[in-house]
A and B are shown apart, each in its own frame.
Chain A
Amino acid sequence: MRKQLLGVGFVAAAFLVSGCVMGSGTTSFSPPRVAGSTPIRLAAGTDSAAVAAQLQGLGLTITRQGASFVEATGGGESKLVDCGTLRQSAFGNRSEIPGTAQISTFYTSDEPLEIIVREFAYRSVVRIDIDGQTAMLNETHRVAARWQTGDGQEFAPEQHTIGLGESVIFADGIECATTGRISQTLR
């Protein structure tokens, strides 16, 4: 059985960000900072090989490389996407959950017991064009989330594409944006 996350009868559409109060606790969300896009000033002598090495150091895999460009791809290990932080208080315990957690659980009711299991993944594609000591960065991230309740009901999964300076908000209220980690590394 699959539901729309915003469907009638489902309390948790924005359950993560609304500070919703359950029987025993609350959930709140701190959104990510959205990194902008500007040309990157490279250190003198930085060529595509050096840029490629730095990208590999971030956990990315080089897919194409030329004298003036580098293309790479990677997943969650590269930490190029930030989806904020959720804070939950349930059953007397407090916890913090990064929005990029591959799998996480949230209590929406404790009587009767109800949870939502959230699964998340993303894939990044990066291209850097080098012109002298300036580099232009192009990042695209495919972000996906799906949800399942404790009793096994599934909600329509979502996928979005975000680039530098952009963010997206999933139906559960979690916002994702680029971290700007590549720019910080190359500068």
Chain B
Amino acid sequence: MAKLSKWAVFTRAFLMALIAASPARVGSQSSAEDQVWSEAQAANTTEGYNTYLSLHPDGAHVVEAVRALRSLGAFGNVTPSRGLGESMEGDLY
């Protein structure tokens, strides 16, 4: 049990050191984006998704945000089209 506890303390310390050593800018950028995205999802409003897209126009949740805006009718009738975010690698010749 004592061994397990020591191991848990070591693991926690290691993880904390790892987090502290991570590039702060990337981490804080990512967490700030996640925060805005969580708020947009919770609100599920046009305003919320516009806030996300205007702050993070190339963010990790762009496709989901656009889909959400479409679902909310923000653009009127949506023309059926190819899926967003599909890899373009196959298009390159």
Where the two chains meet, the residues of A that have a C-beta atom closer than 8 Å to any C-beta of B are 1, 25, 75, 88, 90-93, 95, 97-98, 101-107, 110, 112-115, 117, 119-123, 142, 144, 146, 148-154, 157, 159
Contact = CB atoms under 8 A, between A and B. Distances in A.
A122 B87 CA distance: 11
Contacts of A148: 81-82, 84
A19 to B, nearest CB: 17
Nearest to A89: B54
Nearest to A157: B91
A121 B76 CA distance: 29
Interface string B50-85: 110111111000110110011000111111111011
B69 to A, nearest CB: 6
Q: Is the interface of B mostly helix, strand, loop or mixed?
A: loop
Nearest to A27: B57
A105 B65 CA distance: 10
B58 A104 contact: yes
A151 B85 contact: no
Contacts of B74: 113, 150
Contact of B66 (A97, A105, A110, A157): A105
20 contacts: A93-B54, A93-B55, A98-B58, A103-B62, A103-B85, A104-B62, A105-B62, A105-B65, A107-B54, A110-B50, A113-B69, A113-B75, A115-B53, A115-B69, A121-B89, A142-B92, A146-B88, A150-B78, A152-B81, A157-B91
A153 B92 contact: no
Given A91-B50, A149-B75, A151-B76, A120 B57 contact: no
Given A1-B79, A120-B88, A123-B89, A103 B54 contact: no
Category for how many chain B residues contact A = 20 to 34
B46 interface: yes
Contact of B89 (A75, A92, A113, A146): A75
A117 B75 contact: no
Pick from A1, A117, A144, A157 the residue with the most CB of B within 10 Å.
A117
Nearest to A95: B57
Nearest to A25: B54
A152 B46 contact: no
B54 A152 contact: no
B70 A150 contact: yes
Contact of A95 (B55, B77, B84, B87): B55
A113 B85 contact: no
Contacts of B87: 121
